[in-house]
Chains A and B, each alone.
Chain A
Amino acid sequence: MLKDIEKLLRQDKMPHIWCPGCGNGIVMKAMLEAINSTGIDTKKTVVVSGIGCSSRATGYMNFDTLHTTHGRALAFATGVKLAKPELNVFVVTGDGDGSAIGGNHLIHAARRNIDINVVMFNNNIYGMTGGQYSPLTPHGKFATTAPYGNFDRAFNICDLVKGAGATFIGRGTVFHTKVLTEMIKGAIENKGFSFVEAVSICPISYGRRNKMGTAPQMMEWLKENSVPVKAASKLPPEKVAGKILVGELYKEEAPEFTQKYDELIARFQKGAE
């Protein structure tokens, strides 16, 4: 509830900079709800972001925060986590920040299974710079750099991080706020690399160009075009094709990077005695 998370907002920085109807505020709220309800120590919580509208979230969240350079949030976050493994480390990234310029950091952080919780704000576009297509812009959709429709196919970013080695993967949307919060809670509870795709809306740089209507209409679109992953397995394929699957997508146990690193240090310290 809003009254429980207000303390986690930098009130003096509000109202935030995001456009009317932008989904970023809803994703940030889900993060705050998840952090609040898991009861993790907010004094030992660090949020790191890259560059983009979504990455501005670190300016409003009342933790130790780092607003870094485009695509590099995971590199900074890896440094923070390795220096102080007891910290709860989050990364806020956009679909452009995290899957284009920062895509290599993403797959390798997943491969290491380092205990970082990534929340990717996916609005399917480079919002901040006015609407260039990203690797998550669906095929055929319009962007300033795709005036005849996007030629490329989009990544399924959750499948990509699964292939790379992530140990918790979930997806929610800014319409499915409860699922989104649950997925971020799942990420916090997983001791390893966790990835949550937060499907968001950008009515200004994406919605307008793709004639998706007002912010509430884009919300309706998310509602109509999403299927809970558990229900999807029981539905005929034609009812699932092209839909956004929401819920927990993957979970596994695997050795965590900083823990392995500490074990290595302990082994050599013992040898030196």
Chain B
Amino acid sequence: MAKIVINQKWCKACGICYGLCPKGVLDKDDTGKVVVKNPDACIMCRICEEHCPDYCIKIGG
């Protein structure tokens, strides 16, 4: 299972990561900030990590 490390403190709820994730791994909480919903589906493509403007996501630790 891919290790997904989230820094929610820096997250600004822009929606880019969960908007671009091809596997529906990421979702938003009720404030719009990122949460990991379905970690088993992660294919470690790093699209989320590369496109998060706020340096909040690390894939693979």
Contacts and interface: CB of A to CB of B under 8 A. Distances in A.
Interface of A: 1-3, 6, 9, 14-16, 18-26, 29, 174-175, 177-178, 203, 214-217, 219
A15 B9 contact: yes
A24 B54 CA distance: 9
Nearest to A30: B50
Contacts of B57: 2
Contacts of B37: none
Interface in B1-50: 9-10, 12-16, 19-20, 46, 49-50
Nearest to A24: B53
B53 A14 contact: no
Interface residues of B, number: 22
Nearest to A2: B58
Contacts of B53: 18, 21-26, 174, 215
A252 B51 CA distance: 31
A242 to B, nearest CB: 24
A14 B10 contact: yes
Contacts of B12: 15, 19-21
A19 B12 CA distance: 8
B54 to A, nearest CB: 6
Q: Which of A6, A14, A22, A25 has the most CB of B within 10 A?
A: A25
